Every structure is written in structure tokens, then in C-alpha cells.
Amino acid sequence: MSMFPTRNRLFDELMGDLGGFYIKPLHGEPLPQSIKLDIEEAGDVYNVQAELPGVKKEDIHVDIDGAVVSIKAEIQQKNSTSEDSRNLRSERYYGSVSRRFELPTEIDLENAQASYEEGLLHLVLPKRKVVENSRKLNVK
């Protein structure tokens, strides 16, 4: 890995220092380019924390397929106007970010839980118990 910043990151830092309001949304911070995760295995459960600042709870989608977990978040920021005012300019920010990762074992979907508070998505993903599909057959 190079110790020198990439051209895009260097440009972003420079524009931020010069008053990057030209490229930032007007209504708060944009979504991060990737979702930062903390994944912890505690016995029969995986605890996952994902950073999703500024996202409404109803705009977060979590899909689980076996051992693969997908998290997607969307954000829409709009100007609000009142009835007695005239709208001369309207600017909106729309964005989405997603992250997909695979855990070592499959997840028990019936007991999985998700909660969202203060920009952090908490997932409690219990491991699915391994069911033995083989058995010994008696030969007649």
C-alpha cells in the first residue's frame, strides 16, 4: 500500500480546506462512501455495528441470505418551503451506500434482530445450528 494519498482523496481534502461547500450537499453531510463495520463473534451470536449517520430508520435495508449479509442505506434531503413563500431555487441531495459481507456460518433468520439508534445500526445475528443431514442406512 502506498503512503502517498490518492489523487481523489487529495482533491477532496484540498476542496474541504478551501471551503468545499461547492460540492457538498446543503442539508448536512453526505453519506460516507462505504459503511464502516465492527463485527464481533460472541459464542453463538455475531454482533455487528454499522455506522450510518443521518439516515432515517425506514431508509435502511438489511438482507440476509445464508451467511451473506447486505446492508443498504438511502438518504434524501430536501428544502422545506411554507405556503406563504415563493420557491426561487430548490436543491436536493440523494444518495445511497451499501455494504455486503460474508460470515463464517449461516444465520438463523428467525432469531436475528436489528436496531438503529444515533447513527449506529446494531445487528444481533445468531448462528444457525448445524443439522446433520446424513444418517446410516440399514442394508436389507
Residue 68: is its pLDDT beyond 90?
yes
CB-CB contact of 85 with 14 (8 Å): no
Mean local confidence (pLDDT), 113-133? 89
Which of 43, 35, 20 shows the shortest CA–CA distance to 96? Answer: 35
Concatenate the DSSP letters of all residues of 60-99 into one string: EEEEEETTEEEEEEEEEE-----TTS--S----EEEEEEE
Please state the pTM of the whole predicted model: 0.65
Question: Regarding beta strands 60-65 and 93-102, do their DSSP bridges make them parallel or antiparallel, or are they unpaired?
Answer: unpaired
Q: Which of 39-48, 70-79, 99-108, 123-132 has the lowest mean pLDDT?
A: 70-79
The domain ranges of the chain are 27-80+89-126
pLDDT of residue 74: 87
Question: What CATH number has the domain spanning 27-80+89-126?
Answer: 2.60.40.790
- Tell me the mean pLDDT in the region 34-52: 93
